[in-house]
Structure 1
Amino acid sequence: MPYFDSPADGTGLHYVDYGPADGPVAVFVNSAYLGTEMWEQQMLPLAREGHRCVGLDRRGHGRSDDVWDGYDLDTLADDLHALLGRLDLRAVTLIGHSLGSAEIVRCLTRHGAGRVARVALVSGIAPGVVRSAGNPDGWDPEVMRAGTETFLRDRAAFFNDPDAVRDFFALGRPGVDLSPAHVRHLKDRCMVATARASSAVQETIATVDVAPELAELDLPVLVLHGSLDVSAPLETTGRRSAALAPGATLKVYENAGHGLFATHAGRLTADLREFMAVAKAARPVKTA
């Protein structure tokens, strides 16, 4: 089975590895609550085209072990770095959604970019969603804490709230086409993440501030964000990331919400494919 033990504490981490072993490598880093299944409409087409597509189930998510500790950003970043080393992946394109964007940034600043050639931040919470001196328009920390308490009282109700679901996918907006069955599938998969993991990553999200780290990145960065993202508003996350990361490119998906990986799946796959091809041709790859 595709598992390895986290060097941090021995937690069993599950991963998927699709496509040819010698293909260009894309490593997908998931949103909070979801496992690698969230990327099916990106990983499968790219793998069929010859890319090696790898995805890690965060601890407590998907098929990885349910554990109490290790949901801080440093440990999550260390788990990601350990996967790259475990499979000896080189010239990697790291692709992260939501919380996965912050894990990628921390992984790079904590471990260096020796194995990484480029980064795509999809609906990222990086550089941070909480109000701070550098992000005065961010979420009120007290509101976020109250939301976590509500979440803990009834996770199922949280994931099935019709208004939240509508906002997450921007349902009803022009160009948004997602079946009720697909929405139900993703809601059900969110419940697979354990109660401990789900609440712990919420607490981590409330502390994320990687703005200084984004400014340190020295590799191509593509920021892909929906104009109607409620979970990570475009102005305080996507545009800030693109402004902070040197030479970053921002692509805004009009009428897209946080769940654009599903609602705009084909466009996202095409943008990732183009980014990997153009960046590879334009810049030597670091492999040390």
Structure 2
Amino acid sequence: MSGAFIPRGDGHALHVRDWGDGPPVVLLAGWAMDGRIWGETMLGLNAAGLRTIAYDRNGHGRSTDRPGYGYDALADDLAAVLEGLDLRGVTLVAHSGAGGEAMRYLARHGRARVARLILVGATGPRVIGQGGITAEMVALLCRQLGSDLSGWIDANIDPFAPGASRRTNDWMAAMVLDCSRRAVVEFQRTIAHSDLSSDAAGLDVPVTVIHGDRDVSAPLDLSGRVYSDMIPGAELVVYEGAAHGVMVTHAGRLADDIARRATR
């Protein structure tokens, strides 16, 4: 590791935020978001005596942009961060599409460094074929993300974190616009076309599924409840009245729920 960056070869690197001391909690941001989205939750976890690590995915935030937006490549990036910081006993927290990164990491690299997994508003395990979503609809979405990302944001930012201030929504919109456009499109394709069923069913670490019952991005009945049934021994925690962006609208509660499990 060099400063705040994990090298990934050919001059590429992943930007890392590493705050506090104590048992490590690694937080993975969802599609088109970077490590900044976890800021309030990270401070709450630090106050509970936990070390927090959040890195920007390839093509997101301050990380460089290189080919490799499939779950295998992204899981290998996560492995590089855990190994680069020599983290062990990790509580791995993954939001939205990052759930696939976390589960694929455990499938590819094993559980030696990870003590438990917390899925927050996780997408999947399948998108196409669920809730009437077709491959044609995904292709149309990806074309819009490539040609009119700001228009897509205007139409979709409010349901992410209902009640958030306009300044907060503008901040999140800027985060999306800061991403590599290629990363935005290709990672969306990865999320939509993947089937994480075998990854989920094969998990052998304690898993908590946290999900809002007003989540329109990853509806509870098509994602959170499916994961809780599919993952051996999974615990389901439903946030009543919460949407997709619980780290924005319910940061304090989320930090408390993570801290209780990370300090067991």
Q: TM class, shorter-chain normalised?
A: over 0.9
Do 2:96 and 2:122's aligned partners in 1 also have CA atoms closer than 8 Å? yes
The residue aligned with 1:142 is 136
The separation in 2 between residues aligned to 1:10 and 1:204, in whole angstroms, is 25
Do 2:44 and 2:252's aligned partners in 1 also have CA atoms closer than 8 Å? no
Shift in Å at residue 59 of structure 1?
Answer: 0.7
Aligned-partner SS, 2:193? coil
The separation in 2 between residues aligned to 1:245 and 1:49, in whole angstroms, is 28
Which of residues 86, 95, 98 is equivalent to 2:96?
Answer: 98
Distance change >3 Å, CA 266–CA 216, structure 1 → 2: same
Aligned-partner SS, 2:199? helix
Aligned-pair RMSD on alpha carbons? Answer: 1.4
The residue aligned with 2:157 is 165
The residue aligned with 2:209 is 223
Aligned-partner SS, 1:257? coil
The residue aligned with 1:245 is 231
The separation in 2 between residues aligned to 1:128 and 1:253, in whole angstroms, is 22
Corresponding residue pairs, total: 262
Structure 1 unaligned residues grouped into runs of 5+: 172-176, 281-288
The residue aligned with 1:2 is 4
The separation in 1 between residues aligned to 2:132 and 2:24, in whole angstroms, is 34
Aligned-partner SS, 2:93? strand
Structure 2 unaligned residues grouped into runs of 5+: none
| 1:201 to 2:199 alignment | no
The residue aligned with 2:84 is 86
Shift in Å at residue 230 of structure 1?
Answer: 1.2
Do 2:29 and 2:35's aligned partners in 1 also have CA atoms closer than 8 Å? yes
Shift in Å at residue 209 of structure 1?
Answer: 1.0
Aligned-partner SS, 2:17? strand
The separation in 2 between residues aligned to 1:24 and 1:138, in whole angstroms, is 42
Shift in Å at residue 10 of structure 1?
Answer: 5.5
Moved over 4 A (4+): none
Distance change >3 Å, CA 104–CA 64, structure 1 → 2: same
**AA at the equivalent of 1:15:** V
The separation in 2 between residues aligned to 1:252 and 1:208, in whole angstroms, is 25
The separation in 2 between residues aligned to 1:128 and 1:222, in whole angstroms, is 19
Shift in Å at residue 39 of structure 1?
Answer: 0.2
Q: What's the CA shift string for 1:81-110, capped at 9, x where partnerless?
A: 111011110000000001111100000001
TM-score with structure 2 setting the length: 0.95
The separation in 2 between residues aligned to 1:138 and 1:221, in whole angstroms, is 28
The separation in 1 between residues aligned to 2:157 and 2:64, in whole angstroms, is 27
Q: What's the CA shift string for 1:37-79, capped at 9, x where partnerless?
A: 0001111121233211011110100100022x11111000000
| 1:211 to 2:197 alignment | yes
The separation in 2 between residues aligned to 1:208 and 1:250, in whole angstroms, is 23
| 1:152 to 2:154 alignment | no
Aligned-partner SS, 1:80? helix
Do 1:228 and 1:254's aligned partners in 2 also have CA atoms closer than 8 Å? yes
Shift in Å at residue 6 of structure 1?
Answer: 2.0
Q: What's the CA shift string for 1:191-215, capped at 9, x where partnerless?
A: 1111111111111112121111111
